[in-house]
Structures are given as C-alpha cells and as structure tokens.
Structure 1
Amino acid sequence: MDCGSVTHHLVTWLCRQVREAGQHGLVIGVSGGIDSAVCSTLCGHTGLPVTALSLPIHQAPGQLALASEHLTFLDTTFVNVTPRTLDLTLTFDRLTEDLPEDFRTPLALANARSRLRMTALYAAANASSALVCGTGNKIEDFGVGFFTKYGDGGVDLSPIGDLVKSEVYELGAFLGVSEGIRRAAPTDGLWEGSPSDEEQIGASYAELEWALTLQNSHPGLTLQGLQEIPGLSSRQCEVAQLYLRRHLASAHKLRMPPICSLKGVK
C-alpha cells in the first residue's frame, strides 16, 4: 500500500466532507487502540480544529495509559488539536443504578458504555460546529459488524472504513503511531476484564481478512455454499462460518430503519 498517497487522499476527503457539511472541524474519540490513533492522526493532518476526547468508563489502566500517550502525541504534533479527557464512569454508574435490574445484562451495559461515549462526542461536536469522525475499519464495520449500533457506529464519517486491519497497522506505522499502541492486542474496552477482539469474535483479524477475501471471490456466498469450495481446512471452514454468521446477523446495523409503507392503505 502506498501510505503517502492513501494519507493524502484520506486527509483531502476529510476536509471536503467537513466543508460540504458546512461545519468547521472534527471531534473524535481516542481509546488507546490503533484505529482511533490512526483516525485522530489523520484528523490532525487536516489542519482543521479537532477535539480529541478520551472517554474512560471503568477503563483498564493499560488502555488509559495508551490513550493518554496518544493524546500527548496529538497535542505536541498538531497545533489544531485540542486533547481532553472526560471520565464518564460516574455517569455510567448512575445510569446502571437507575436501570431496572432485569435491564442490566452484560451486553446491554457494554453497549450502554459505547452509547454514552457517542452522546459525549456529539455534545462536543454540536458545541463546536464539527462532525464526529468514526474509527471503524472494514472488517469491523462491513465484515462482522463488530460495533455498537448508535454507539461507536453513530458517526458522521468513516475515513478508514475501506481499510482492513492489517492496512490500518501499516498506515499507523507510517503516521508515527507509537509502537505501544501498534503492539497492543485490539480490544473494544467495553467489558469487565477487557477481553481482546479476537477472544470476543473467535477469530483473529488475519483470519477475518481471509474470510472477507473468500466472500469477495464468491459473490453471494452462503453457509451451504461453503461446502462446495474445495481445499478448505477445518479451521478455515470454522472461520468462514463464523464470519458469515456474524455478517448476516449484523446486516441490520448498516441499514436505515425500515418504514412501513401505507401506499394503498390510507
């Protein structure tokens, strides 16, 4: 990948999106992970006003340290970036207390963390006439739907949505993202114990990239159709099935809510 050309294209695209939306800048969340590090650095290169927010909620110390390290990098590298940390732990705890006990499932509370962060990002964006920049990559957003609907999926634009994870790492090295961030195991940071993305999904990003390539080379691939592809190992079959199930189950996340047509009724 020509990282210089990709960077120029993405930065130009970000500037155009902000201009065409009639806004003045960008707001982005910084988690300490590679995706947000790359996206926030790209935002810095636009020269537009950028607010970079770390929004911890019961965050693991290691994640907090990486986020803080990257905010310092942004602050010392770009005069147009304003780094801030807003601890949402007490807000989350109050929400948890106010929810009925039967609403407090692990999945509901994990997604609530992401949606609280989205609320804070849009508060910052509204206050500064800015767009919220997403941080999802192609595997997460369009492959297995590994994001929270109306949480980290609630954004105005997605600069790295056409890059797979290995390409994000390559671009991160080019942009000067720290080795600590590039070496850290990816995690969404939404669960107790901070399980890695691989532990949650059941496959590595390298395996998921392989599955995406398989899907692209076999348009309309189904679970039944996997049996007709020769030469797949048992692990490859397992990964492909996992990928396709997640891909199909998360398809609703990429669609606008359906509207019931009343044509011929009213």
Structure 2
Amino acid sequence: MQAQAVIEHIVNWLKDYAAQARAKGFVIGISGGIDSAVVSILAAKTGLPTLLLELPIRQQADQVSRAQLHMQQLQQRFANVSAARVDLTPTFNQFAADNEVDGNAFTNKALALANARSRLRMVTLYYYGQLHGLLVTGTGNKIEDFGVGFFTKYGDGGVDLSPIADLTKTQVYELAAALDVDVSIQKAVPTDGLWDEERTDEQQMGATYPELEWAMGVYPDHTAADFSGREQEVFQIYDRLHRAMQHKVNPIPVCVIPQALL
C-alpha cells in the first residue's frame, strides 16, 4: 500500500466532503485504540476544526491513559485540534439502574448494556457535532464495517462519514506507522472497550484480524468444505458473523402497501 498517497487521498476526501456538507470540521470519539487515532490525525491534517472527545464509561485505566496521551499529542501537533473529556460513567450507571431487570431472565442483558454504552457515546458525539457544526466521523475499518459487523448498530455505526472503512485493519496499522501514532497505541491489543472486564476483539470474535481478512478475501467464492483445520474454522466464523451482520448494513426494510389497498 502507498501509505502517503492513501493519506493524502483521505485528507482531500475529508476536506471535499466537509465543504459539500457545509460543515466546519469534524468530531471524533477517542478510545485509545488504533482506529480512532488514525482517523483523528487524518481529520487534523485537513486543517479544519477537529474536536476530539474522550467518552469514558467505566473504562480500563490503560485505555484512558492512551486516549489522553493521544489527544495531548495531537493538540501539540495541530493548532486546529481541540479536545474534551465527557465522563459518561454516571449517566450510564443511572441508565443501568433505571432499567434494572432480572439478569437470570434475560441472557442478552450484558450485551444490551454493552451496546447501550456505544449508543450513549453516539448521542454525545452528535450533540457536540451539532453544537459546533461538525461532522461525526466514523472510525470503523473494512473488516469491522463490511466483513463481520463488529460495531454497534446506531452506536459507533451511527456516523456522518467513514474515512477508513475501505481499509483493512492491517492497512490501518500501516497508516498508523506513517502518521506517527504513539507506539503504545500501535502495540495495544484491539478491544472495543464496552465491557467492565477486558475483552479483546479476538476473544469476542474467535479469530485475529489477519485471519478474518483472509476469510473476507476468499468469501463468497468458496465454502467451508474447501478448507481444513484452522482455515476451515476461521472461514466458518467469518461466514457466521457476516450473515448475522446484514441487518446492520442493509437499508431498513419498508413494508410497501399495494396500491389497491390505498
């Protein structure tokens, strides 16, 4: 990949989109992870106002420290970057308390609360975006957004534009190196940060990003029967996740009423 050429292309695309949308700039949620770090630098390089928001909800200490370090570094590197911290933990705790249900009766309670964290962050990003005339800028990559659906519908999937959604996770790491993202972020194990305990992306999905990128490359021209061993296992994981994610990326179904009934 021609990293510098890709960087220039994305930066120009961001500037053009903001101009067409008559937006002043961009607002990005900073997690301490590689994707938000890369996207925030790309946005900053446009020269347009770029607001970085750290939105912790019962966050792990290492995630908080990386997010804060990245925001400090970007403010030092770019005069157009501003940053703020909005601690959503009290808001989330109140939401969880107000909606307390019998955990034994609802097996999806933990996942519902994890997704609620992501949706609460989306609401906050759009609030600040509207206050300042900024576009909510997505941080999802290609394998997450179009491969396995590793995002929350109307959470981190609720954005105005997605500058790195055509890049695999591996390619995002290449851009991170070219953009001088802090080494601690480049080396951090990927996690979505939606759980009280640390859950890595690999633990949740059952495969590494390089493995899933391989499966995405051979899908749908093959079936699981074409492979054996770990490749077959990874292909089956990808196939299951890809099928399950379709409701996240397809248009909302509309019930069309026959003209004769109107």
TM range (shorter): over 0.9
1:262 aligns with 2:257: yes
Structure 1 counterpart of 2:230, from 219, 231, 235? 235
1:253 corresponds in structure 2 to 248
Identity %: 51
Shift of 1:148: 0.1
Amino acid at match of 2:142: K
1:145 aligns with 2:143: no
> CA–CA distance in 2 between the matches of 1:70 and 1:100?
35
> CA–CA distance in 2 between the matches of 1:64 and 1:23?
29
Correspondence 1:26-175 to 2 at 5 A: 26-102=26-102, 105-175=109-179
Amino acid at match of 2:124: A
> CA–CA distance in 2 between the matches of 1:130 and 1:256?
25
Amino acid at match of 2:112: A
> CA–CA distance in 2 between the matches of 1:255 and 1:18?
25
Correspondence 1:145-224 to 2 at 5 A: 145-215=149-219, 218=221, 221=222
> CA–CA distance in 2 between the matches of 1:39 and 1:85?
18
Shift of 1:215: 1.1
- Number of residue pairs aligned between Structure 1 and Structure 2: 257
Amino acid at match of 1:238: E
Shift of 1:233: 2.8
In the TM superposition, structure 1's runs of 4+ consecutive aligned residues that sit over 6 Å from their partners are none
1:14 aligns with 2:14: yes
TM-score w.r.t. the length of structure 2 is 0.96
Q: Note the residue ranges of structure 1 that are not aligned, 5 or more in a row.
A: none
> CA–CA distance in 2 between the matches of 1:67 and 1:23?
25
Shift of 1:99: 0.7
CA RMSD of aligned residues (A): 1.2
Tell whether the 8 Å contact from 1:56 to 1:87 is kept in structure 2 after alignment: yes
> CA–CA distance in 1 between the matches of 2:193 and 2:63?
8
Moved more, 232-241 or 88-97: 232-241
> CA–CA distance in 2 between the matches of 1:194 and 1:167?
25
